[in-house]
């Protein structure tokens, strides 16, 4: 998987750093602590830029390569920041056979960004996801917590307008 | 809740809760109390069931029915296509596709005055003046619910309701009257096989782990349901989490482990939340902890969240991931039963497998073995999806035919389209063509026809789906999810994907088809783990049953289903074209030309197949083909 360096500079706060250090302190000695710590760190910062990975590696006293290796292995972890509105299109089998691929292409075209990227104004980010389990509503996409189901390509404009 | 330490105390909780649950289970309500069950599974929550619950509670309050009606948020009922779903007990009337605007009328008419509002009921349950219970509908009548028996019936956030349904009785029985070998022997005799995919006998797995001598062992649950289109494990976790917890404690006793881990997908927030609640309640009730039922048996349970890696469904990869590493698989042997999590003997079963265990202990191995086929016992849950009327969850005895599942329970294919294939086993499985619809479904039959059970996703495809495109879709998934550790999978699947891309673009030769097939067998024989070894299955099975479609792509440069964009041609039917020029004005690349009032034509070299002309034509004269 290839990652582009994000155009948005890292601007973590001291408050976020304090929260992160508290999480690390709590979990540091659990067996297999790295994953839960990364998950909580992503909750705090919204993503895991190299700056956050470095803080975790130093506090846990493990090599940065190890942290980076784990972060880049799992699809849930993101090195790029997410938009104000996170759009995820389900490309699971049930949605795909009902045409979610076309919906995803239309969004790429409309937003001018690819999968895993963010619009320059920071408003929208786009991801393809695998099965959110709402196969009964296929094809499905989500914008932050909102779920839109039984979609056609023509619905894309209406949905984007709602968040414009 | 107080700690339960004896059978009498467990039975007292059971008796008290049974009164509440019997309105739904037995369909009788002496006190006149009604239970309104609203599905809180992922499917129905996505279609807005939480707003339904809120409005229901407001309206019930307003009508002064608070003491007469209980609103209960349950797990999945199975019929996700009709969500949000609401069922009113004791009568069992079934409201489908609920909207917030319907609530006031239903509360006033049905819950207050006792007259169900027919127009909002699931149409199949209304027969003139008669209203059928949901259990009599085609979707439910042919099902047999063992793993899903509590889903959609109890509130998953109350341990008492699980106890009312014989919950934790099996754990008590095991701890007080059975030896470790007794438990394993019952499982062996039942014939239960792993529901996660490969179908390894569960009892044998436990036997191996018990035989390993070590001061620390682990019990793990694979809830990293990664097959796109499969969601049965999630539904069990959302609807009946205690069934999994109880079974894991039983497994802990059988193999001599005092610690368990549930590895669950982070993409399933509702399941994670319900598991957290259930574990906390089980600890408070003393069903997890240091001295369970006063027997001195100790068992603790922890949750670990996956982070979106399909390969972590493979057992060694899952354990590597719990240890906090990149979830890469490793060579076996040593098997996890000898050397698993943190290097200690470990068993790993999936959610649906565990959901059967307590039932087998209570009802006996013979009861379980009486269901199913010779080598596949019990029931199997399938997640029906794709081009089918009743998308949702169904549980049928092993040996039921695909035809029964698709046509009778699933209600067939919508829009009068023709059935083309059923895909089972996700990215590791294959496509089953119409001529095999009458084969009884079990582990061995599915493998014999080139597919596999997998975790139970069942995606139906109709004539509009291109089988080469489907094979390419699964390969794209595997390429994406390949962990990269072994070469056959990392590079082989990528090469396969490229060949498929060539085929769908009409650039392939017949020689490429042979190469593709050879590469499939090479990867099957040489990949390190199950993901890689089964990755070629979608290609092999479509090559086997739909070779004519591949050949059409290669030789005729044609996609019979009209899916593969590069091979699709958009044409104007001269008989229907009125020469209005609307399409030519819409065409973004100026590919359409002609004289006004005579038929227009499309220059295929310029056309980018965007379909704008088709949408514009008022005379239905432009077609894809």
Which among B341, B314, B345, B342 is positioned nearest to B327, based on CA atoms? B314
Q: Report residue B352: phi and psi, to 5°.
A: -65, -35
Task: Give the mean pLDDT of chain B.
Answer: 94
For B30-52, give the DSSP string. TT--EEEEEE-SHHHHHTTHHHH
Nearest residue of chain A to residue B46 (CA atoms): A147
Q: Strand locations in B294-378, DSSP E?
A: 297-305, 346-350
CA distance linking residue B546 with residue B540, whole number of Å: 10
CA distance linking residue B589 with residue B606, whole number of Å: 7
Helical (H) or strand (E) element with B386: strand B379-386
CB contact under 8 A, A130 and B228: yes
In A, which residues are within 8 Å of B322 by CB distance? 32, 35
Enter the tokens of residue B136: 């009599």
CA distance linking residue B58 with residue B91, whole number of Å: 23
Render pLDDT for B334-386 as a digit per residue (tens, 0 to 9).
999 999 999 999 999 999 999 999 999 999 999 999 999 999 999 999 999 99
Between A136 and B63, name the one with better pLDDT: B63
CB contact under 8 A, A91 and B83: no
How high is the pLDDT of residue A1? 40
The minimum CA-CA distance between A41 and chain B, rounded to whole Å, is 13
Which among B346, B340, B254 is positioned nearest to B297, based on CA atoms? B254
Q: Does the pLDDT at position A2 exceed 60?
A: no
How high is the pLDDT of residue A132? 78
Q: How much is the average pLDDT of B317-339?
A: 95
Render pLDDT for B572-588 as a digit per residue (tens, 0 to 9).
999 999 999 999 998 88
The segment with the largest mean pLDDT, out of A69-83, B240-254, B304-318, B610-624, is: B240-254
Render pLDDT for A42-90 as a digit per residue (tens, 0 to 9).
999 999 999 999 999 999 999 999 999 999 999 889 988 889 999 999 9
Q: Does the pLDDT at position B422 exceed 70?
A: yes
CB contact under 8 A, A137 and B326: no
CB contact under 8 A, B47 and A147: yes
Residues B401 and B437 sit within 8 Å (Cβ to Cβ): yes
Between B249 and B139, name the one with better pLDDT: B249
Which of A29-38, B125-134, B557-566 comes out lowest in average pLDDT? B125-134
Q: How much is the average pLDDT of B305-327?
A: 94
Q: Does the pLDDT at position B201 exceed 90?
A: yes
ipTM over 0.95? The verdict is no
In A, which residues are within 8 Å of B385 by CB distance? 93-94, 135-136, 138
Render pLDDT for A24-50 as a digit per residue (tens, 0 to 9).
999 988 889 999 999 999 999 999 999
CA distance linking residue A82 with residue A116, whole number of Å: 8
How high is the pLDDT of residue B180? 98
Q: How much is the average pLDDT of A151-163?
A: 93
Residues B218 and B339 sit within 8 Å (Cβ to Cβ): no
For A41-79, give the DSSP string. HHHHHSS--HHHHHHHHHHHT--HHHHHHHHHHSTT--S
pLDDT class of A6 with cuts at 50, 70, 90: low
Burial annotation B400-424 (CB, 10 A radius, 16+ → b, else e): bbbbbbbbbbbbbbeeeeebbbbbb
Strand-pairing partners, residue B462, are B419
Nearest residue of chain A to residue B231 (CA atoms): A133
Between B184 and B230, name the one with better pLDDT: B184
The answer, yes or no, to whether the previous bond of A139 is cis (omega within 30 of 0) is yes
CB contact under 8 A, A97 and B461: yes
How high is the pLDDT of residue A38? 96
Between B564 and B609, name the one with better pLDDT: B564
Nearest CB among A34, A38, A135 relative to B385 is that of A135
Enter the tokens of residue B4: 């339960």
pTM of the predicted structure, to 2 decimals: 0.91
């Amino acid at each position: 998987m290839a990652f582009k360096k994000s155009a948005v500079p890292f601007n973590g706060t001291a408050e976020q750093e304090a929260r992160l250090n508290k999480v690390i302190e709590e979990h540091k000695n659990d067996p297999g602590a790295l994953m839960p710590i990364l998950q909580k760190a992503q909750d705090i910062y919204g993503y895991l830029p190299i700056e956050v990975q470095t803080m975790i590696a130093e506090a846990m006293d493990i090599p940065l390569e190890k942290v980076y290796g784990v972060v880049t292995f799992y699809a849930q972890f993101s090195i790029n920041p997410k938009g104000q509105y996170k759009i995820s299109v389900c490309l699971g089998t049930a949605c795909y056979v009902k045409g979610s691929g076309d919906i995803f292409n239309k969004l790429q075209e409309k937003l001018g960004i690819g999968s895993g990227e963010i619009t320059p104004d920071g408003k929208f980010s786009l991801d393809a996801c695998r099965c959110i389990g709402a196969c009964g509503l296929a094809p499905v996409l989500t914008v932050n917590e909102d779920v839109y189901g039984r979609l056609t390509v023509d619905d894309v404009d209406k949905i984007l307008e709602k968040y414009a | 809740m107080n700690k339960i330490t004896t059978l009498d105390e467990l039975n007292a909780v059971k008796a008290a809760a049974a009164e509440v649950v019997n309105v739904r289970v037995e369909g009788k309500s002496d006190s006149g109390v009604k239970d309104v069950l609203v599905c809180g599974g992922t499917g129905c929550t996505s279609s807005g069931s939480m707003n339904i619950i809120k409005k229901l509670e407001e309206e019930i309050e307003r009508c002064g029915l608070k003491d007469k009606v209980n609103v209960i948020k349950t797990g999945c009922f199975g019929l996700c296509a009709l969500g949000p779903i609401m069922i009113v007990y004791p009568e069992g009337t079934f409201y489908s596709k609920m909207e917030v605007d319907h609530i006031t009328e239903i509360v006033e008419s049905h819950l207050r005055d006792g007259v169900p509002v027919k127009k909002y009921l699931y149409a199949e349950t209304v027969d003139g003046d008669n209203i059928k219970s949901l259990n009599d509908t085609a979707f439910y009548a042919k099902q047999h619910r063992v793993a899903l028996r509590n889903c959609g019936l109890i509130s998953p956030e109350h341990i008492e309701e699980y106890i009312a349904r014989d919950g934790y009785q099996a754990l008590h029985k095991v701890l007080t009257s059975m030896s470790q070998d007794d438990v394993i022997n019952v499982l062996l005799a039942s014939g239960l096989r792993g529901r996660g995919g490969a179908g390894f006998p569960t009892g044998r797995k436990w036997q191996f782990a018990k035989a390993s001598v070590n001061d620390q062992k682990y019990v793990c649950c694979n809830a990293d349901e990664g097959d796109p289109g499969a969601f049965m494990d999630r539904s069990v976790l959302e609807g009946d989490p205690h069934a999994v917890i109880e079974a894991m404690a039983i497994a802990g006793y059988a193999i001599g482990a005092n610690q368990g881990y549930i590895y669950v997908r982070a993409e399933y927030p509702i399941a994670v939340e319900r598991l957290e609640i259930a574990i906390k309640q089980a600890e408070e009730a003393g069903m997890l902890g240091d001295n369970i039922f006063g027997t001195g048996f100790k068992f603790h349970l922890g949750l670990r969240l996956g982070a979106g890696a399909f390969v972590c469904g493979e057992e060694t990869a899952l354990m590597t991931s719990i240890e906090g590493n990149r979830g890469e698989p490793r060579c076996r042997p040593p098997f996890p039963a000898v050397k698993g999590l943190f290097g200690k003997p470990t068993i790993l079963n999936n959610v649906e497998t565990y959901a059967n265990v307590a039932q087998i202990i209570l009802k006996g191995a013979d009861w379980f073995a009486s269901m199913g086929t010779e080598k596949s016992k019990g029931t199997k849950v399938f997640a029906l999806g794709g081009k089918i009327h009743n998308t949702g969850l169904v549980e049928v005895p092993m040996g039921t035919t695909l035809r029964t599942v698709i046509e009778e329970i699933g209600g067939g294919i919508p829009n009068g389209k023709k059935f083309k294939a059923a895909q089972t086993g996700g990215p590791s499985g294959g496509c089953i063509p119409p001529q095999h619809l009458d084969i009884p479904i079990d582990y061995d039959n599915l493998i014999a026809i080139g597919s596999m059970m997998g975790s139970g996703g069942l995606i139906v495809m109709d004539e509009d789906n291109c089988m080469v495109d489907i094979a390419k879709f699964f390969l794209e998934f595997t390429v994406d999810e390949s962990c990269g550790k072994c070469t056959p999978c990392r590079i082989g699947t990528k090469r396969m994907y490229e060949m498929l891309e060539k085929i769908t673009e009409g650039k392939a030769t017949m020689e490429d088809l042979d190469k593709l097939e050879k590469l499939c067998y090479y990867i099957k024989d040489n990949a390190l783990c199950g993901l890689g070894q089964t990755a070629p299955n979608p290609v092999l099975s479509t090559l086997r049953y739909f070779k004519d479609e591949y050949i059409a792509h290669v030789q005729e440069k044609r996609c019979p289903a009209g899916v593969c964009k590069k091979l699709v041609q958009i044409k104007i039917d001269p008989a229907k074209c009125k020469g209005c020029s609307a399409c030519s004005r819409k065409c973004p690349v100026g590919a359409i030309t002609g004289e006004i009032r005579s038929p227009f034509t499309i220059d295929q070299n310029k056309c980018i197949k965007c379909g704008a002309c088709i949408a514009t034509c008022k005379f239905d004269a432009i077609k894809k083909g």
